[in-house]
Structure 1
Amino acid sequence: MQTILGAGGAIGIELAKALTQYTTDIRLVSRNPEKVNDTDTLLSADLLQADDVKKAVQGSSVVYVTVGFPYNLKVWQNRWPKLMESVIAACVEFDSKLVFFDNIYMYDSDYLDGMDEETPINPPSEKGKVRARISQMLMDEINAGNLTALIARSADFYGPSIANTSMLNETVIKNLAKGKKANWMGAADRKHSFTYTPDAGKATALLGNTPDAYNQVWHLPTAPDPYTGKEWVEHIAKALGTKPKMQVAPKRMIHLIGLFVPVMKEMPEMLYQYDRDYVFDSSKFEKRFNMTPSPYTEGIAKVVAADYPK
C-alpha cells in the first residue's frame, strides 16, 4: 500500500496518476477524497488528529505528504508542526517510508539564482520559518536513524486545472485568457522558474519507489533557463492567441488583489522571490534518473489546451 496524505490537490492528483506505474494499491486520504484511478482506496480523515493520521498510515509501505493547508501564516504555524509530528510518529510506528513534498521558502534570499539541494537555509519570511522548522523535524529523525524519508522540493508550480493554487495560473494565464492584463509581481525583467505539476507528480512517485533515493533532499525536475516575467506573459499570450498585456503589481495592488484572489492575500512577504532572479536547479535529479523536465513552451501549451480549449 502506498498512501497519499492530502490527496486531491494539484500535486496529489498528479502523484496518484503516476503511482500506477509502480502499484495498484493506492490509498488516497483527505477530508473528502475522490478516486483518481479506478483501483484507488479512499479514506476520509482529519489529518490534524493524530489518531486519524495513524489510521491513514497503518499498512503503508510509503507515505507521501502533499497536504496543502490554506495559504495563511497563522494556519501554517498552527497546523504544519502538528501534522509533521503526527506523520513522523505514525511512520516510525508502522515502519513506513516517508516522502515529503516541500517548497523552497526556507532558502536564503541571497542564493535564489541557482538554487540546488545545498542552498543555505536561512528563511527570510515567517512562512519560510515554518517550512524550515518542519523540514528540520524530518531531517532530525532521519539523522537519528529513526525514520527512512526524503524531501522532494519544487519551485513555484504551474499546470493544468490548478488556477486557485498557482500564482502563474491565477494572475497571468487566467487573466490573459479573459482578455485582461496579466498581473506580475515584482520585477518583470527577472527570471522565475516554475515546476510543471505533471513532472512533479511523476518525479515524486519515482523517488518514492527508488530505495537509494531516501534520506536526502531532491529538487524535482524543472526546466532550466526560465523566462523573465515579461517573457512568461509573452509566451502565454502567444499560446492563447491574445495580446501580451501586463502590469507589474506593486505591493499595494497585491493587497487589493488579495481581497478577491485568496492565494494573493498573503503574498506581500514573499515578494522578495520576484525582485531578483529565481532560478531552480534540478540537475541532481535529472542526472540520477535521466529525466528531462517539460520545456516551458510545451507546459504552457498543455495548460492552455486543457483549461482554455478553442
Structure 2
Amino acid sequence: MHTIFGAGGAVADQLLPILLHSQQKVRLVSRTAKAIPGVESVAADATNYTQTLQAIKGSSVVYLLLGLPYDIRIWRAQWPVIMTNVINACKETGARLIFFDNVYMYGKVNGWMTEETAFNPCSKKGEVRAAIANQLLQEIKAGNLQAMIARCADFYGPIGFKTSVPNLLVIQNLIKGKKAQWLGSADQPHSITYVPDAARALYLLANKPEAFGQTWHLPTASELITGRQFAKEAAAVMQKPDGVSAIPGWMLSLIGLFNRPLKELKEMNYQSDSPYLFSSDKFNKAFGFTPTSYSDGIKETCLWAMESGK
C-alpha cells in the first residue's frame, strides 16, 4: 500500500496516476477525504497521532507531501507535531517514509545547492524546516526507521496556480491578458523543478531500497534560466506580449499589510535577489534520468493552462 499524506496537493495529484498506472494499491489521506475511483480515501488530521497511526497502518510506503498554509505561526505550531506523529506511526507500523521537502533550511547559498549543502537558515520558515529535517535525519541515523528526504526547488508545471509562484505570476497573468510578473530580480538565474519529473522521481526512489537513508534532490534542469527568460518563453508559446514586471521587496511589504501570504513571502526575498541554483546531479546519475528542459516544461504548462481555460 502506497499512502499519500497531502492528497489533492500539486505533487500528490501528479504522483497518483503514476502509482495507479504501476498497479499499486493507493491510500489518499487528507483532512477531508474525497472519493476517487480505484483508491482508498481516508480522512485524518496529521496533528492527531491516533488518526495518523490509523491512516498509516498497512502501508508499505508513506509519502509525506503535506502543505500547510503559508503562515509562520501555523508552521511553528503544526510542523513539529506532524513530523513527530508521522515518524512515530511509521516506526510503529514498519512503513517506509519519504518526506518531500524544500530548500528553506539551506538559507542563502553561494553556488549550487546539493545534498551536502549545510543547513544555514536565514528565515523563520527556514528554521522550522531545518528543525523537522534534522529530527528525521536523527531518526534515520539511529536506525529507528527506513526513511529519506526528497527535496525540490521552487516548482512549476500543469498543477494549478495555488502553490506555484511561476504559474501564478507568469502563466496565469498571461492567460488573463496581463503582464507577467516575477518576485525580486527577474535577471538572476533561478532553478525551478518541473513537478511531473518530481512525481516520477518519488516513485523511482520508493522502489529502490538502497535509496532510503539518504537525501535526494529531485530532478531539475541544470540549464540556467531567469524570470525574464521564463516569461519570454511562456509568452511565445501563448502568443502574448513579451515582458515581465519585477515585484520589489518594498511592494511586498506594502501589500503584505493587507495580505498575509504576501507578507510571509517578504523574508524569502533572498531567494530571488541572488542566484538560486539547485543541483540534482546525484539523482540524475543514479537513475539515468534526464530532467525536462525548461523549454519543454514551459510549453507543456502553457498548453495545459490554455486548454483548461484557467
Instruction: Find the counterpart in structure 2 of residue 146 from structure 1.
Output: 144
Superposition map of 1:103-122 within 5 A: 103-111=102-110, 113-122=111-120
How does 1:222-237 map onto structure 2 within 5 Å?
Answer: 222-237=220-235
Secondary structure of 1:152's aligned partner: strand
3-state SS, counterpart of residue 100 of structure 1: strand
Q: What is aligned with 2:29?
A: 29
| Matched residue, 1:177 | 175
Query: Secondary structure in 2 aligned to 1:272?
Result: helix
C-alpha contact 1:258 1:266 (8 A) present in aligned 2: yes
Q: State the Cα distance separating 1:277 from its structure 2 match.
A: 0.8
Corresponding position of 1:39: 38
**Distance across 1 between alignment mates of 2:12 and 2:174:** 27
Counterpart of 1:59?
A: 58
Q: Quote the offset at 1:108 in angstroms.
A: 3.6
2:221 and 2:291 in contact (8 A); partners too: yes
Identity %: 45
- 1:32 to partner: Cα distance: 2.1
1:263 CA drift (Å): 4.5
**Are 1:198 and 2:214 matched, yes or no?**
no
AA in 2 matched with 1:19 = L
The verdict on how the C-alpha distance between 1:8 and 1:204 changes in structure 2, with shifts beyond 3 A counting, is same
Give 1:145 shift: 0.9
> Where in structure 1 are there 5+ consecutive unaligned residues?
none
Return the offset for 1:55: 0.5
TM-score (normalizing by structure 1): 0.95
CA distance in 1, matches of 2:161, 2:145: 35
Structure 2 match to 1:292: 290
CA distance in 2, matches of 1:35, 1:8: 11
Once the two structures are TM-superposed, the CA of residue 305 in structure 1 deviates from its matched residue by 1.2
* Cα separation, 1, equivalents of 2:180 and 2:43: 38
Cα offset for 1:252? 2.5
Secondary structure of 1:164 counterpart: coil
Once the two structures are superposed, what CA deviation does each residue of 1:261-296 show, in whole Å capped at 9, x if it has no partner? 765341100000011111110011011101111111
User: Aligned runs of 1:192-271 on 2, under 5 Å?
Assistant: 192-258=190-256, 263-271=261-269
Deviation string, structure 1 residues 66-116 (Cα, Å, up to 9, x no partner): 0000011111011100000000000000011000000000114133x3111
- Equivalents in 2 of 1:211, 1:89: separation in Å? 20
**Contact residue 186 and residue 250 of structure 1 kept, 8 A:** yes
* TM-superposed deviation, 1:259: 7.0
Match of residue 165 from structure 1: 163
- Report what 1:280 is aligned to: 278
- C-alpha separation in 1, matches of 2:249 and 2:300: 31
Instruction: Tell me which amino acid in the other structure corresponds to 2:285.
Output: K
Query: What is residue 93 of structure 2 aligned with on the other side?
Result: 94
1:260, distance to aligned residue in structure 2 (A): 7.9
Q: Distance in 2 between matches of 1:216 and 1:6?
A: 22
Conserved? CA contact 1:5–1:29, under 8 Å: yes
Post-superposition offset of 1:24 = 2.6
Query: Unpaired segments of 5 or more residues in structure 2?
Result: none
Aligned partners of 1:176 and 1:245 also within 8 Å: no
- Cα deviation, residue 186, structure 1: 1.6
CA 295–107 in structure 1, closer or farther in 2 if over 3 Å, else same: same
**Number of matched pairs:** 308
RMSD in angstroms over aligned alpha carbons? 1.6
Aligned in 2, Cα 1:284/1:259: closer, same or farther, shift over 3 Å?
same
